Structure formats: structure tokens, C-alpha cells
Chains A and B, each alone.
Chain A
Amino acid sequence: MAGVPRRTALAVLGAGAVGLTGCGTPLDPREDAGGIALTVAVNAISGGKNSEEAEWISEWVIPRFVRAQRARGVDVRVDFAPSGLDDEQYKTKLALDLKARAAPDVMALDGIWLGEFAEAEYIRPLRDVVGGDFAEWPGWRQIDRRVQALARFEGRLYGIPAGTDARLLFYHKPLFRRAGLPEEWKPRSWAEILDAARRLKRLPGVVPLQINAGTPMGEATTMQGVLPLLTGAGGAVAKGDRWYGDTPALRAVLDFYRRVYRGGLGDPKLQQEAKGRDKSFAAFADGRLGILAEGDYFWRDVVAPRTGTSPMPHRDREVGYTLFPARAPGEALGGRDHVSLSGGGVHVLNPHTRHPQQAFELLTALHSAAALRAQLDGTAKITERDDVNAAVLDRDPMLRFAADDAMAVTVFRPPLAAYTEVSSALQEATAQVVSGTAPKRAAAAYGRRLQEVLGGSDRIVD
């Protein structure tokens, strides 16, 4: 059976070769003129998703990299392959490209895909692709161990993490004022969130609260909804390499969903729409949504005054942010009062790259301190590098808050290959509750689904 992927690859290559010989083109026409051709792909596209990142790569990183290589006598050509897709579709596209060995030389993955891609041998540890030299890159010393872990699977480094983030509650200050709620809102329990939502509900045309649910939102449901709540109820999804099934903490989370969506505090239909998450952003920016659980991405890229996809000209005055409270003070994982969730992307190399040395140099060029400062261009973000963070975070009080207060209580997702499937089982459980299933039954269904996904109960904590 081990022959299957090889044969598939052959079939794909065969079909590709037929097409190419048909046109009389060699396999990589760009290398005809001599020199080295590299491709870098991230889920960003100029004028669309993560527009600034796309422009930064094609206009800042690539020209400087090419110039630096020329100065050393290496003739390099780098192409940027843009995408503007939902994350799940971007992942499928990369997996298919990697399977056909037609993937870009350097590419961005979400940290949680690392395990399944590594198990499928689509990507390999840096040591295998580049050789031992990879450890000599001086940038490693600037990257915190917790952040490095985003690029690690079973103890080995597969790439360079591209920053990290934190989950918070964002709230619309003008709406809070109209509802008679404090502008400096600091909820200490789930009950206080629901109380505020009930006050907001009195405003006509306003959806009080958006805690992502259902499958169309994909990982945003798990990351912005289930996991912060689960951690806040003292629970977790996994322990070591085993998973938790139907636990009291999960039932509490699903019950919170029931109270939000069956109690008229959230818009259940929005959770079913194909573009629901984008619509929630637009609703918040228009002042039709009171409280939104999101990552700091929302602040940086969605409601950013000039560059956001749903820009708010007076963001700094109108958008409040606060930590996710535990179910009740002290009830969160580790006896904490507040929680946050963190993740992040990773830039990896294609193990079949024809130029591993130059590909690695391009990879590090994406993570030099100068490159990151150029990317931020006066704004702020929690980057992977401590030296850059120290210099840039003070530009934006919100990101300083996320880096200090949220990162202090944050939790990372388990680096296990089955994570994405477990995550979609969690999304299904929330979808059931939103459409009326009792939390107990949805939690039991999740337990059964987990057994199907993991192929038995040996990897489920009793």
C-alpha cells in the first residue's frame, strides 16, 4: 500500500508531462535563462485578504532578497504566489500541491496543520531539508521557546513561526454607552457577559453578542469560542497525546452557547452563513453588534482605520477590549481568573525544493528584524522576535495589552496531528446546540464522534 502516493504522484506527473510536452515547454520554464527560481506562497493577496502582507512580500522582501543574492553572485528569481481563500481551502490547495510535488519552495501554514502535514511527509524537519546549518541562523535566539513550539512537531523544528496572537473580547463603546454599560468593561464571569448582553438587547437592531459557532466559521469557532470557554471552565481538549471526550466542562461550554443562541442574545442564523464571520465584522463596524470574541487580528486587520477590511475611522475611541473571564473567578484552567488562546502561522520549506539553501535563505529573509519592522510600517503586532516586539508594541496600547496581559494567561492548542478533526467535531457540537439540541446530547454526540475520528477509544481520556 505504500506505493499509493508514489503512483498517484507519477500519475499526476505523467498527466502534467503530457500537457507540458504538448505545449513544448520544459518543466520549469523560468530556469531556462539560467539562475535559480523560487516561489513563496502565503494566504494573502494584494487588495484582498491580508493585503499588506502580500504587498510587503512582493515589494519589500523579494526585491531585497534578490539584490542581496545578486551581490553574492547568485542569480535568483522569486515569484510570489498569492491566495485570498478561506483557511480550510488554502490548506487543501497546499496539500494537493505538496502531494503532486508542485508546491512552492517556501509556504505559510497554520501551526495546527503542522502535525498532519508532517505525518503525511509533505514537509520535513529543517535539519533534513537544509542540513545542520539551519541552527546557525542568529534569529533563533530572538524567538521565545513557547512561540518556537508553534513550528515544532514531535520535538523537531519544521519552520520559522510567523508571530503569535491572543484572543480577547472586543466591545462597541458607543453601544455600551447607549445601553448604560461602563465604557471600561471588565467582566469577571460568564454571568457578567450575559448580563451585559441582556442590556444590549434592549437597543433596537443590535445583536448583543457574537461567540462564533458552527462549521462554516471553521477554526474560528474553536479558537474564538469553544476553547476560551472550555479553558475558562477549567477544561482542556487534550492531555499529553490523549483527548477529552464528553466532560462536565464541555457541557458547561455548550450550555453557555445554549443561553446565548436560544436566549436571543446572539444571531443563530449568522452561524450558518457561508460568509458569517465577515458579516459579523461588518456588523460590529456598523454598530449593529455589541460584543465580539476575536483574535487581535480583528483589531489589526479588520477594523484598522485605513487599512482594515471593515475599517472603523475612530477605532481607538470606539472599540473596547478586555480579557475573556473564567466561568467564575478562579475557575479557569490552573485556577486563573482570565484566559486567552494563542496560535500562529509557520513558514515552512517544501522538502522537494531544488534549491534548499536559497529557499532557507529566503525563509530567514522573511523573519529578519528589518523585514518585520518594514512589515509593521509604524503599526504593531506580536511578532515572533523579542527584539522587534520590544521596539514596536508600545506603539499600540491594545497590542501591548495583548502581549502582556493576555499572553500571561494564554494557552496554545495541542500540537497533535488529529487536532483539526477534533476541532471540526467541536464545531459540529456547537452547531447542534445553536439549532436546538440539548447541550447534554450534543456533548454525548461529541464523545461518540471523537471515537470515530480517533478510530477507537484508546486515545480518549477516561
Chain B
Amino acid sequence: MAATGSSTEPEEGAAPRAARKPHEQDAAGLGARRALAFVAPGLLVVALFLVLPALWTLYLGSTDYRLTGIPAVDPQFVGVENLTDALGDDGFLNSLWLTLLFVVGSAVLGQAIGGFALAWWMRERTGPLRAVLESLVMLAWILPSSVVAFLWIAYLDRDDGTLNALLHTPGAAWLLDHPMLSLIVFNIWRGTAFSMMLYSAALGNVPRSHLETARLAGAGPLQQLRDVVFPAIRGHVLTNLLLISLWTFNDFTPFLITAGGPDGRSETLPVFIYQTALGSGQLGYGAALSFLMLLINLVVAVVYLRLLGRKRKEERVDDAPPAHARQAGAEREVDA
């Protein structure tokens, strides 16, 4: 990173932002009105299925609407009470913390690093071991959630679980004593395939000549990773992190395994919202929680997209003198 970063600094902001001719901005030559007509159907679908439900959630979240009882017929407007209640609700804060643990533990640390390690290991290998490993990892990814949940319950069960039989620890209640740890391990197992595939594709894009140059210059594996491979796949890393952290954040499979228990110790945010809105029928409060969850999703997405945008800008600048960055990298290797 440092290698490319230093090379771009002098050029930052140097691209001429001066007035362009109108036809340059309007690449398709449609004109504003026709362009609008082109995007209108798309915008309409987005409005209908994305914006309206979000606004509807916001509205429901400001009522005491319930699934049963009198408020089901005659909900009262309560304003921001649901939101303020949520911020003081131990159950909500607890579930937020557990979700953070789940995302950082299983997605960012587990799947991203595990997926990269697998992809790196498989990069230049062929043969039966690779094929078996790849199919096993893929199998974990493609099996339906309900099947997988059943398998893991059977695996970790207290009375006749496979894990207890393997470890000779009869009666160890994994799902009750270590519910979050169990879920994190489960989710790493479940989702690593995606990171592995994405990184495999990305590693294929790292030019062999760069790696060879680095090797000839005497760079060790770690240095190659840091100075050649990582700069080349940075965009893939960010995209992967964005996707898997949002998926994990919204993942409902934990419910199938622990149902949020015991005593809410594995109640991640989606499970907590489900229990609140449908389990105990507090639809209004559940909608307010969903809105908060939507906001968190947006914040995470915006942070990643900005990082990705900055990276693209750098690439565009890098493209101008293509040899420059590489050279800088190679020089560093020599220095080291």
C-alpha cells in the first residue's frame, strides 16, 4: 500500500476538472428527458420495493402496533418512543453486541482470513487433495440452511452429539455453555467458500511476472503477499468484506440452531427482532428495531463503498504511468 500510496500523492487533484463540453458529459447522446424515461422504470421498481417499505417501516415504528389485542385494531402514534426505548433496552444492546461479535468473529476474522488462506494454498496445487477440499468447502456453502442447522444441532447435541462422541466428553452442552462460540465456528464453516472462491479468482489476476520479479529480487512469501499480491487484490478484499459482513449481520440461520437461547445469550439482532415482532407480537417496536438495523446496514455499506471509491480513484491515477508503481514496489523489495 505504502508503495502505491506514495507514488500517487503528487498527482492527487491534478486531473483537470475544468469545464467539459456538453456532449462529453452526455456520452449516450440521449438528452436529459429521454435519459430520464430510460431510468424511470428502474427507479419506479426501486421506489416500490425499497423506498416505500423503508418508509412504511419508519411509520410502523412510530406506533404501538401489535399482532394481537386492541393495538392490532387501533394502534396509537407514539413518536420516537420506540427508538428511545430501544436505546435503553438491555435486550437490544445485548443483541447489538452479540451481532458485532458474530460479524467480527465469523465474517471478518474467520471467513475472510480462512478463505484467503485456502485460496492461497490452492493457488498452484492440483490433484485429489485440492479437489476433495474444494468440494467439501463448497458443500458447506450450497446446502440449504435448514439441513445444515439440523446437522449442527445433531453434531453439538448434549446427549448424543457427534462432537461429544469424538472428544469423549459426554454431556458437554456446547450450544448452552458456549452458544456464541458455537455459532461463530458454525458460520466460518458455512461461509468460507464464498471468500475462497472470490480470492481464488482475484489471485488469478495477479500478474505472474510481478511475482516472479519480486521473487528474483529476493522477496520472501510474506513480502510478496504484502507488496505484490495485496495491492493487486485490494478491491476484491473490500468487496468481499462488504458482502460477507452485511450477510452475516443479517443472517437468520443462528435462529435455526439456538433460537436465540439460552436466555438470549445468542440472540443476534435479526433473531431479536424476530422474537420481538413475531414472537411476542410487538410489531411496532419490531419495526423501529428494523429501522435501526437498516441504518446500521447503510453505515457499514457507505464506509466500505467510500474505501472502495478511494481505491478506484487511486487506480485511475495509477493507470497513467503503469510502470511507475510496479517499479516503486520492486525497488522496495531490493531495499529490504
Contacts and interface: CB of A to CB of B under 8 A. Distances in A.
Contacts, number: 80
A5 B259 CA distance: 29
Given A269-B158, A272-B176, A424-B280, A1 B67 contact: no
A121 interface: yes
Contacts of A417: 68-70
B231 interface: no
A446 B63 CA distance: 26
A288 to B, nearest CB: 10
Q: Identify which of B68, B74, B173 gathers the most chain A CB atoms within 10 Å of its CB.
A: B68
A421 B282 CA distance: 11
A273 B262 contact: yes
A273 to B, nearest CB: 7
Interface string A209-233: 0000011100000000000000000
B261 A122 contact: no
B278 A5 contact: no
B262 A1 contact: no
B68 A116 contact: yes
A119 B71 CA distance: 8
Interface in B247-286: 258-259, 261-263, 278-281
B102 to A, nearest CB: 18
Interface residues of B, number: 29
Interface string A268-282: 010011100001000
A206 interface: no
A116 B69 CA distance: 4
A88 interface: yes
Interface in A106-124: 113, 115-117, 119-122
Contacts of A214: 262-263
B72 interface: yes
Contacts of B263: 214-215, 272, 431, 435
A95 B68 contact: yes
B309 interface: no
Contacts of A117: 68
A2 interface: yes
Contact of A88 (B65, B176, B279): B279
Interface string A2-20: 1011000001000000000
B205 interface: no
Contacts of B60: 4
Contacts of B258: 274
B9 interface: no
Contacts of B280: 421, 424
B278 A120 contact: no
B165 to A, nearest CB: 17
Contacts of A273: 158, 173, 175-176, 261-262
B259 A274 contact: yes
- In the A-B complex, the 6 residue pairs with the smallest Cβ-Cβ separation, listed nearest first, are A272-B262, A120-B72, A116-B68, A116-B69, A274-B259, A120-B68
28 contacts: A1-B74, A1-B75, A1-B76, A1-B77, A2-B74, A4-B65, A5-B72, A5-B73, A92-B67, A92-B278, A96-B67, A116-B69, A119-B68, A119-B70, A120-B67, A121-B72, A121-B73, A214-B262, A214-B263, A215-B261, A272-B176, A273-B158, A273-B261, A273-B262, A274-B258, A274-B259, A279-B159, A417-B68
